[in-house]
């Protein structure tokens, strides 16, 4: 039997990422979990940034951001980027991460991230608590172990997700897309 609950942000787990933004004049790193793919061709993803966050006006000014996926080895850096504010100083050294120049955008990426997704803002939707930025993916920079056959191939258990205030590592593979149809001979 299911229990009825009031509406909330119950969708979980979500990817836990560090979004980097800015340029040589000013840059920042922010932890976000409200991130998602919303279009295939062209590839577009969204990030939702609370209005009070230091990164919001930086993204507004530059029109770019990079989504950096985080392996379990960087979970402390992920958390630090979420609890520290860029208003109080440079988060990169305080969180134990390094800047790496972007290839398709002016903003830096997290050098230690095995997968960085460089985006250009193409749209924005203002909601009551967050600005949602739609970013067209201009390029993906991936560590060799995250690439197979020229495509992104994330190793099992490698990345961090977020659920109900907890950081979790991804688990083992349970199947691949279409495995049930193959089982049925379809």
**Counting beta carbons within 10 angstroms of the beta carbon of residue 54, is it exposed (0 to 12), middle (13 to 18) or buried (19 or more)?**
middle
The closest alpha carbon to 105, from 114, 118, 95, 92, belongs to 118
- What is the extent of the structural domain holding 29? 14-183
Q: Kind and range of the H or E element at 78?
A: helix 75-83
The pLDDT-based confidence of 173 (bands split at 50, 70, 90) is confident
CB–CB of 10/28 below 8 Å? Answer: no
Instruction: Return the residue matching tokens 């197979």.
Output: 148
Q: What is the CATH number of the domain that holds 169?
A: 2.30.110.10
> Distance between CA atoms of 65 and 5, rounded to whole angstroms?
35
Beta bridge partners of 161: 15, 168
Number of domains in the chain: 1
Q: Is 150 inside any structural domain? A: yes
pLDDT in tens, 29-50: 999 999 999 999 999 999 999 9
Give the residue-averaged pLDDT of 147-157: 92
Q: Is 2 inside any structural domain? A: no
176 pLDDT more than 90: no
DSSP state of 159: B
SS3 assignment, position 91: helix
Give the residue-averaged pLDDT of 150-160: 91
Torsion of CA 97, 100, 106, 107, to 10 degrees: -10
Q: Is 4 inside any structural domain? A: no
The pLDDT-based confidence of 149 (bands split at 50, 70, 90) is very high
Q: Is 20 inside any structural domain? A: yes
pLDDT in tens, 46-71: 999 999 999 999 999 999 999 999 99
* pLDDT given at position 122: 98
Structure tokens at 159: 């990345």
172 pLDDT more than 90: no
185 pLDDT more than 90: no
175 pLDDT more than 90: no
The pLDDT-based confidence of 137 (bands split at 50, 70, 90) is very high
Q: Is 3 inside any structural domain? A: no
* pLDDT given at position 157: 86
pLDDT in tens, 82-105: 999 999 999 999 999 999 999 999
- Distance (Å) of CA 157 to CA 73, 99, 168: 11, 25, 10
Q: Is 57 inside any structural domain? A: yes
The pLDDT-based confidence of 174 (bands split at 50, 70, 90) is confident
């Amino acid at each position: 039997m299911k229990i009825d609950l009031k509406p909330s942000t119950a969708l979980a787990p979500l990817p836990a990422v560090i979004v980097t933004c800015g340029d040589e004049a000013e840059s920042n790193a922010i932890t976000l979990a409200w991130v998602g793919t919303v279009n295939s061709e062209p590839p577009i993803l969204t990030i939702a940034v609370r209005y009070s966050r230091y990164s919001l006006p930086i993204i507004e000014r530059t029109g770019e951001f990079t989504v950096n996926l985080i392996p379990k080895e960087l979970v402390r850096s992920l958390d630090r980027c979420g609890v520290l504010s860029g208003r109080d100083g440079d988060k990169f050294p305080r969180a134990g991460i390094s800047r790496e120049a972007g290839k398709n955008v002016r903003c830096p990426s997290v050098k230690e991230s095995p997968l960085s997704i460089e985006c250009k803002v193409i749209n924005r939707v203002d909601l009551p608590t967050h600005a949602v930025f739609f970013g067209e993916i201009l390029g993906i920079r991936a560590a060799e172990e995250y690439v197979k056959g020229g495509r992104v191939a994330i190793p099992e258990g490698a990345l961090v997700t977020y659920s109900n205030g907890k950081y979790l590592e991804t688990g083992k593979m349970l199947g691949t897309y279409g495995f049930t149809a193959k089982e049925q001979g379809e």
